[in-house]
Structure 1
Amino acid sequence: MEPVLPFALDLPPRGEGARMQALHGQLRAAILDGRLPPGARLPATRPLASALGVARNTVVAAYDLLMAEGYVQPRRGAPAQVADLALRRPAPAAALEVPLGDRRLNPVWRAPALEPESPRALPERSFRLGVPDPHHFPHAVWRRLSAQTLRAWSKQPFTYPPTEGLAPLREAIAHHVAFARAVVCQPVDVVVTSGAQQAFDLLGRLLITPGQTRVAVEEPGYPPARAALLAAGAVLVPVPVDEQGLCVDQVPADVRIVAVTPSHQSPTGVALSAPRRRALLEFARAHDAVILEDDYDGEFRFGGRPLDALQTLDREGRVFYVGTFSKSLFPALRKGFVVAPAWARDALVRVKHCADAHGDAISQSVLAAFIREGHLARHVRHMRPIYAARRQALLDGLQQELSRWLQPWPSEAGLHLSARIRDPAQASAILARIRQHAPGAQSLDDYAMAPLPQRAVTFGYGVIDVAAIRPALSRLRAALETI
């Protein structure tokens, strides 16, 4: 029999199954590598089935799949033909580039303030920021609560959870922040979010009039929060930070929102002093402004009595308190929350309903049980001395091994510690050696909107233990001595 195709097909013997998949895969490969060029006619189904010794339905099914994928075009009253794949391929990247991005995009996204980052290849034990230690997490407890939740969920009818979050989780969060941070709230004040980043995004949509609302942000400050506010249309006003936190006296009078990390400034690590807390609340009262308080790792405090949260001191409903479980538990949980003033609660829920109407009920239920049974409080108590020892080892190294080059910022909380570079002339060389010998540590330049008057670096100690900190700093000292 004369071949019906210009190449051989190798199908599995009858009875082994997958003959249609094999036929489809080999025809698809022939189209992709050019053995069946664009416009080539495929054999009719009956002759091809006869030549291959398979049922006609096998060939029909393979052709149908190729048509559904766009590799083959049907033709009425004529054999199907191979499609022109060039019409499906995107143009080369260079052909799509324009100076300000594609004009069909919202101008905000033509040159975004924040690009998604691929996870950096760092050693497991490194000075990376923003990640807690996985080795001390109560995995067995989390697995047990997850299994219980899934068993209960499997016996319930499918439904959409409430926009503001499950009631048991909101109640658990309200009790937790009242106990841990003296935040004054009821469950009705809590809106559950997908991490703190969604909280910033929702608050930006709620409070910002695009192109008009001026928002004071810390300089240097946390880039993701800044990007969310900018995407909402904010006019950002950078305000410097010193050893007492945000320089409140430099916030312009026309600012209507102040975004601040008062418990552990990101990235310097300093705390907003008590006088400046009072001054910031007075500014908000005098200028009818609101405050976005980001308390991202306030549970971990190593000094004396923690300063009250701004929300605790607020008597006029001007503070939106933002929290997250990424540092106290683990980042992949993607759970945060906003404690909103009464006047904004319903509006915030409406905003969230438009962006993310229902959330994940299963992980919310697990987290609610984890908090309700006391596991979160126990885990924080367990981790506090572990992180305290790491912080002290890092601080000792900065003050002893590296004191010629670096001067630590005052910090008594959180999972990172920052230090100024003493000699500006050596800053670039020092940072290069830090990147090489203290992987994960970051320059504060990465957090700034403009060049900083004094360059600095920040070290995380969430995933590096004491035994690894000391030799790493010794190696860094040896490298710095070569400058």
Structure 2
Amino acid sequence: MELHVVINGRKDLASQLYQQLRDAIESGRLAPGTQLPPSRLLAEQLGISRKTISDTYAVLTYENFLVGKIGSGTFVNARIPISRRKQSHTDFASAELIDYWHNLKSPLRHPTLEGMARYDFIGGATVKNQFPDEEWRRCTQHALRQISNSRGYYSQPEGLPALREAIARHISFARGVVCVDDDVVVCNGAQQALDVIARVLIRQGDTVAMEDPGYSPARLLFSAQGANVVGVPLDDEGIRVDLIPDGTRLIYVTPSHQFPMGMPMSNARRVALLNRAQQLGAIIIEDDYDSEFRYEGRPTDSLQSMDDRGNVAYVGTFSKTLLPELRLGYAVLPPAILEAVIIAKQLTDCHTSTLPQWALAKFIADGYLQKHIRRCLGIYAGRRERILARLNSDLAPWFDVVPSTAGFHMAVLCKVPVNIALLIELGKKVELGLYSLAPFFHDAESKPGLLLGFGAIETLDIDPALDRLKSLLNQLS
């Protein structure tokens, strides 16, 4: 690969070369540690003498911009400070819009590995050592063979047929979703599914109704697309359907494992929700993000399986069953919006990467996914039981558990006044990651409490973590 240097004319060549190399180093375009081409190769590339190149390298080395290593070559000095271009967004016509995006804060942004606490109750994450590396490696090798035999064209925006078929079979079996492979659109995680559905259905000022408290990234996404997002309160049966306002075009719910509180939506409430959507002419997005992990009670039908009018778009993800880093999700769409969503996805990203698609299709077809889910279910069940045992014994003076039967997080509400913000800050000092419920409330009055995820904390770490939590609560008391 050639170094990007532009020489104009035949005059002052050394000065031109010096200035361009120095500017590239100071701006960071040539990163610290980058090896420069040998003088002979750069001379051939630029059509100037080798002596001019060598002399310029020598000057920059003398000024500490470059460093020569005997037997290795010439490198950008790793100790050179990089000067960044100073520019304010207020200089642009879109300053107000840029300000809006600057001020958006997502409460579910995961920290880097270095930012994780020793004992972390973060939601929506799993322990990496549970991932079936060997099986996935075999499926990835299969994917590479499939790609090597392809013609090298862009793929379908709706996803590979093999994966769409595998997803349709899996969710029909595991969740009772009524679908065929042609109803499935493969996405880069559930978040992209929400994005492309919203692009098709809402315009500036349209009303979107969602549970309150609810999944904040969805609320932020709908708001960013110009929607008027209305938070609808919950009760023990789920979303208060009678409070969904007239004029609503889109309704977002998590009926199987309400996020963040955890309760399932009752059957009667589901029927009422479907009827209300039909009255409004609204589409319901059913986000079924982690209900494959069920611990007690009879399985509940998906909302989509109860829909005989084409009002429900079912959204799922493999971030919870496999790994968030894979960024693979899907939507099962009613016929009225299917083709429109496919076009919107094509305009957004053309298509999802085919390598993980081929691998996941093989992973599901060979039974590895079901085997992995069963294994994780046993692990999560043990963690859940241990946390519940502690919450119902020595932590009972402080917290009430919101009943839930699925997923790998639970919500706990404070029985007595607790400064949750201070508790979280104190937890950081003892390597304890705690997360408040407050960011998930929008219009409804916030209830003090914690969201306790148990996917990313090892089973043997639960008691030491909860011991630290109890100690902090005693300090605050």
**Structure-1 residue corresponding to 2:192:** 198
Partner of 1:221: 214
- Taking a change above 3 Å as real, the CA distance of residues 28 and 472 of structure 1, as seen in their structure-2 partners, is same
Q: Given that residues 418 and 457 in structure 1 are in contact (C-alpha distance below 8 angstroms), is that contact kept between their aligned partners in structure 2?
A: yes
2 CA distance for matches of 1:209 and 1:160? 30
Q: CA deviation at 1:131?
A: 0.7
Asked if 1:262 is matched to 2:255, the reply is yes
CA distance in structure 1 between the aligned counterparts of 2:23 and 2:347, rounded to whole angstroms: 46
Question: In the alignment, which residue of structure 1 is the partner of 2:10?
Answer: none
Q: Of the candidates 245, 255, 258, which is equivalent to residue 252 of structure 1?
A: 245
Deviates more, 1:148-157 or 1:107-116: 107-116
Change in CA separation of 1:221 and 1:29 when aligned onto 2, cut-off 3 Å:
same
Aligned counterparts, 1:63-74, within 5 A: none
Partner residue of 2:111 out of 90, 111, 119: 119
TM-score by length of 2: 0.80
C-alpha offsets along residues 62-92 of structure 1, whole Å, 9 cap, x if unaligned? 989xxxxxx9xxxxxxxxxxxxxxxx95325
Distance 2:22 2:154 in 1: 43
Structure 2 segments unaligned to the other structure (5+ residues): 1-16, 27-38, 58-64, 66-82
Q: Secondary structure at the match of 1:370?
A: helix
2:432/2:468 contact within 8 Å kept: no
1:355 partner letter? T
Query: Hey, what does 2:323 align to over in structure 1?
Result: 330
Q: Does 1:181 align with 2:175?
A: yes
The residue type paired with residue 246 of structure 2 is: A
The within-5 A match list for 1:10-89 is: 28=21, 56-57=49-50, 59=52
Quick one: which amino acid aligns to residue 143 of structure 1? R
**Paired position in structure 1 for 2:35:** none
Q: Work out whether 1:455 is the aligned partner of 2:448.
A: yes
Show the counterpart of 1:417. 410
Asked if structure 1 preserves the Cα contact closer than 8 Å seen for 2:209 and 2:229, the reply is yes
Q: Which residue matches 2:144?
A: 150
Alignment of 1:279-290 (within 5 A): 279-290=272-283
Which region of structure 1 is more displaced relative to structure 2, 406-415 or 225-234? 225-234
Task: Work out the CA distance in 1 between the residues paired with 2:283 and 2:390.
Answer: 40
| Contact 1:201–1:228 (Cα < 8 Å) also in 2 | yes
Residue number in structure 2 paired with 1:343: 336
Inter-CA distance 125–372: structure 2 relative to 1 (3 Å threshold): farther
Helix, strand or coil: the match of 2:412?
A: strand
1:444 to 437, 440, 444: 437
Is the 1:214–1:255 contact (alpha carbons within 8 Å) kept by the matching residues of 2?
Answer: yes
C-alpha displacement of 1:477: 1.1
Specify the code of the residue in structure 1 equivalent to 2:86. A
CA contact (8 A) 1:437 1:475 kept: yes
Residue in structure 1 matching 2:93, options 76, 100, 103: 103
Q: TM-score, normalised by structure 1?
A: 0.79
Check 1:314–1:119 CA distance in 2 against 1; reply closer, same or farther (3 A cut).
same
Q: CA deviation at 1:315?
A: 0.7
Q: CA RMSD in A?
A: 3.0
Give 1:163 deviation, angstroms.
0.8
Moved more, 263-272 or 363-372: 263-272
Which is higher, the Rg of structure 1 or of structure 2? Answer: 1
Pair 196,124 (structure 1): closer, same or farther in 2 beyond 3 Å: farther
User: Identical aligned pairs, as a percentage?
Assistant: 38
Instruction: Call closer, same or farther: CA 1:321–1:409 in 2, change over 3 Å.
Output: same
Structure 1 residue 27: Cα displacement: 8.5
Q: What SS class does the counterpart of residue 248 from structure 2 fall into?
A: coil
The runs of 5 or more residues in structure 1 that have no matched partner are 1-23, 34-44, 50-54, 65-70, 72-87
For the 8 Å contact 2:313–2:331, the answer to whether it is kept is yes
2:314–2:332 CA contact under 8 A, matched in 1:
yes
Contact 1:440 1:460 (C-alpha < 8 Å) held by counterparts: no
Deviation at 1:107, TM superposition (A): 3.1
Q: Please give the per-residue CA displacement for 1:447-476, whole angstroms capped at 9, x wherever unaligned.
A: 222573421210110021322111211221
Contact map agreement 2:118 2:432 (CA 8 A) in 1: no
Match of 1:297 among 271, 286, 290: 290
Tell me which of 202, 209, 215 is aligned to 2:203.
Answer: 209
What SS does structure 2 have at the residue aligned with 1:135?
Answer: helix
Q: Please tell me whether the aligned partners of residues 121 and 453 of structure 2 are also in contact (alpha carbons under 8 angstroms).
A: yes
- Asked whether the 8 Å contact 2:310–2:334 carries over to 1, the reply is yes
Q: Summarize the alignment of residues 380-395 of structure 1 with structure 2, pairs less than 5 Å apart.
A: 380-395=373-388
Letter in 2 for 1:104: S
1:355 aligned onto 2:348: yes
- CA gap 1:475/1:151 in 2 versus in 1, 3 angstroms: same
Deviates more, 1:402-411 or 1:448-457: 448-457
Looking at structure 1, the residues matched to 330 and 301 of structure 2 have their Cα atoms a distance apart, in angstroms, of 19
The answer on whether the counterparts of 2:146 and 2:358 sit within 8 Å (CA) in structure 1 is no
Distance 2:379 2:367 in 1: 19
Change (3 A) 1:171 1:206: same
SS at match of 1:322: strand
